Amino acid sequence: MKIGIIGAGNIGSTLARKLSAAGHTIKLAASRSPDELREHAEKVGAKAVSPAEAVKDVEALILTIPFGKNRDIAAILADVPASVVVIDTSNYYPFRDGQIAEVDHGKPESVWSSEQFGRPVVKAFNAILADVFANQGKPQGEIGRIAIPIAGDDAQAKAIVQELVNATGFDAVDAGTLADSWRQQPGTPAYCTALSSDELRKAIFAADKTAAPKNRDEIMAFLGEPNIWPSTEKVIDLCREFYNRK
């Protein structure tokens, strides 16, 4: 499959590396110019391109940029064919993205993103820590495989995303429609807790939409207190403990 990825941070770079290794053709774009990105792109098996080039002649497009930047790339999606599956990996953090009133008032993040883009999206790859995603994937069927939630309105698009999730070393769990995608946003039990498929389904069901923004902000404040980001294992433990106390 031909895949464009906009965003070359931890998640975007890991997606490029894993999907390239699985046999997909990857174009990688970022805020850096293609020349500045080229060496890094080659290391992860991708071709460095501009964002405008990343959306051309692809079957899937993965957007892995800060949530608040989604408005900035809407224009380059205008001519992307409807058949292209667009995957939104972003999460809303007001301290980074600025206050967005519609999301603050309860609109699911990826519903808002879809409205900015003027086209459907599938929410995926947003609820996993970067280190877990990079280093803890396992072959299909192996015991202890971690699951990733996906949400969207088009069954065929979600099936394609499920295949991509599997190719990265994780199980895919259907979290419902795009309107249900709040269940995998920051502040929910499904977010960054590294769960198995069965555990993740229970976590998705247990999500509390009203409590999620407060949970998100409390967790970030707690993690930021020492001014030293804890280990991946510690973050997972803290998130699990936090939700178990609720």
In b/e form, how buried is each residue of 35-66, taking b as 16+ CB within 10 angstroms? eebbebbeebbbbbbbbebbbbebebbbbbbe
Question: Do the Cβ atoms of 81 and 56 come closer than 8 Å?
Answer: no
Which pLDDT score is estimated for 246? 58
Which pLDDT score is estimated for 245? 66
Which pLDDT score is estimated for 151? 98
**pLDDT surpasses 60 at 193:** yes
Rounded CA gap, 102 and 112, in Å?
A: 8
% of the chain with per-residue pLDDT over 90: 89
pLDDT band at 155 (very low <50, low <70, confident <90, very high): very high
Which pLDDT score is estimated for 224? 72
Domains, the chain, in order of start with CATH, read 66-179 (3.40.50.720)
* 6-27: pLDDT as tens digits: 999 999 999 999 999 999 999 9
pLDDT band at 231 (very low <50, low <70, confident <90, very high): confident
Mean pLDDT of the chain: 94
| 227: β partners | none
Q: Pairing relation of β-strands 2-6 and 25-29?
A: parallel
Which pLDDT score is estimated for 242? 76
Rounded CA gap, 12 and 29, in Å?
A: 9
Indicate the pTM of the whole model: 0.95
* 99-129: pLDDT as tens digits: 999 999 999 999 999 999 999 999 999 999 9
pLDDT band at 238 (very low <50, low <70, confident <90, very high): confident
Give the mean model confidence (pLDDT) for residues 47-76.
96
* 182-192: pLDDT as tens digits: 999 999 999 99
Rounded CA gap, 23 and 45, in Å?
A: 10
Which pLDDT score is estimated for 91? 97
pLDDT band at 234 (very low <50, low <70, confident <90, very high): confident
